[in-house]
Copies of this chain bind each other. A is one copy, B any other.
């Protein structure tokens, strides 16, 4: 009978649960609502409930459960396993989530940030599972990111590494909520792409089929833009290409610094599939160095919304298990 770790993907509206066994095989996932009204206690209780159900559904005896991994939005204190605060969930300030869950389920528990956990999920069981060095960019409301180096998540010296969504791809460009200008996030997140396009239409009155959609719905989505682009709308084509260009610039800079096996794209924008991948790869190829063959592959994630729970379980395996990952490898150019 396999040993398992339980993965918990804790979010502002729901909590997802799943298990990963010692061969990185993953279970079906399920989700529970995030209690949002009474602070930390109901949240912790809900997580404990989900963990117990996961173990029951896995049908393994207790001693086969190695531990629990939690992925959570932050800011977190990873060293202490504490949620410092959660903008979207009231009452979650300075919650020692890792140790509280560990105590109540009586299993060793790990805490990782959600973007890193999702990247780790793709690394162990998704688009990056045949790789050793991987960077993931999740193109959603913002642009989340995780960097895996030699099977290990890169946290940096102060715990704020792996934020490829805030690489600067347009110095002096669009202001970002993080305080910088020209971040990847401002050009390549589904939300900001739609917002920027709507602003251009409103302010500059550009001729575009999207003006009607904007009038009708009061807003645009990335899907609206893609559809207009594929129907030949010039503005939609321009902003889509611009998004893909800046994403490609980020990919090239990532290759120069880290030279990963692959860069995995995830999140809402990747529903565009080849319509995203083709222009990103094309721009990356045009902007990339010619000193040697480009070997880093740009791929689309395969785990979808399960990546977080799978990755959280993977982190628990990495920290609590007897993984032999992490050897040094060299290459040539």
Inter-subunit contact A79/B331 (CB<8 Å): yes
Q: A216 an interface residue at 8 Å Cβ cutoff?
A: no
Please, which residues of chain B bring their CB within 8 A of the CB of A249? 168, 171
The stretch of A19-27, A36-44, A287-295 in contact with B is A287-295
Q: A258 an interface residue at 8 Å Cβ cutoff?
A: yes
- Do A164 and B292 form a contact, CB below 8 Å, given A75-B332, A180-B287, A332-B78? no
Q: A224 an interface residue at 8 Å Cβ cutoff?
A: no
Measured as residues with beta carbon below 8 angstroms from the partner, the interface class of chain A is 35 or more
Interface residues of A in 94-132 (CB under 8 A from B): 131-132
Please, which residues of chain B bring their CB within 8 A of the CB of A152? 328
Expressed in whole angstroms, the minimum distance between the Cβ of A282 and any Cβ of chain B is 15
Expressed in whole angstroms, the minimum distance between the Cβ of A90 and any Cβ of chain B is 21
Kindly supply a per-residue 1/0 record for chain A positions 229-261, scoring 1 wherever the CB is within 8 Å of any chain B CB and 0 otherwise: 000000000000000011001001111111111
Bound Cα distance A160, B167 (Å): 20
Expressed in whole angstroms, the minimum distance between the Cβ of A169 and any Cβ of chain B is 6
Please, which residues of chain B bring their CB within 8 A of the CB of A80? 332
Inter-subunit contact A259/B77 (CB<8 Å): no
Kindly supply a per-residue 1/0 record for chain A positions 66-91, scoring 1 wherever the CB is within 8 Å of any chain B CB and 0 otherwise: 00000000111111100010000000
Expressed in whole angstroms, the minimum distance between the Cβ of A143 and any Cβ of chain B is 11
Inter-subunit contact A154/B75 (CB<8 Å): no
For the residues of A in contact with B, the DSSP-based class is loop
Expressed in whole angstroms, the minimum distance between the Cβ of A110 and any Cβ of chain B is 10
Task: Give the residue among A180, A245, A256, A296 with the most B Cβ atoms within 10 A.
Answer: A256
Inter-subunit contact B179/A290 (CB<8 Å): yes
Bound Cα distance A166, B78 (Å): 32
Bound Cα distance A178, B288 (Å): 8
Bound Cα distance A162, B131 (Å): 18
Bound Cα distance A149, B255 (Å): 16
Q: A163 an interface residue at 8 Å Cβ cutoff?
A: yes
Inter-subunit contact A330/B155 (CB<8 Å): yes
Expressed in whole angstroms, the minimum distance between the Cβ of A219 and any Cβ of chain B is 26
Inter-subunit contact B156/A259 (CB<8 Å): yes
Bound Cα distance A252, B160 (Å): 12
Q: A133 an interface residue at 8 Å Cβ cutoff?
A: yes
Q: A170 an interface residue at 8 Å Cβ cutoff?
A: yes
Inter-subunit contact A133/B160 (CB<8 Å): no
What are 12 residue pairs bridging A and B, where the CB atoms are less than 8 Å apart in the complex?
A75-B332, A79-B330, A79-B331, A147-B257, A156-B258, A157-B261, A157-B331, A161-B256, A161-B259, A162-B257, A171-B245, A181-B287
Chain A residues with CB under 8 Å of chain B are 74-80, 84, 131-133, 147, 149, 152, 154-164, 166-171, 176, 178-181, 245-246, 249, 252-261, 287-292, 295-296, 328-333
> Told that A149-B154, A159-B259, A178-B289 touch, could you supply 19 new A-B pairs with CB distance under 8 A?
A75-B332, A78-B330, A79-B330, A79-B332, A80-B332, A84-B332, A133-B161, A155-B259, A156-B331, A157-B296, A157-B329, A157-B331, A158-B296, A158-B333, A159-B332, A160-B333, A168-B253, A168-B256, A257-B257
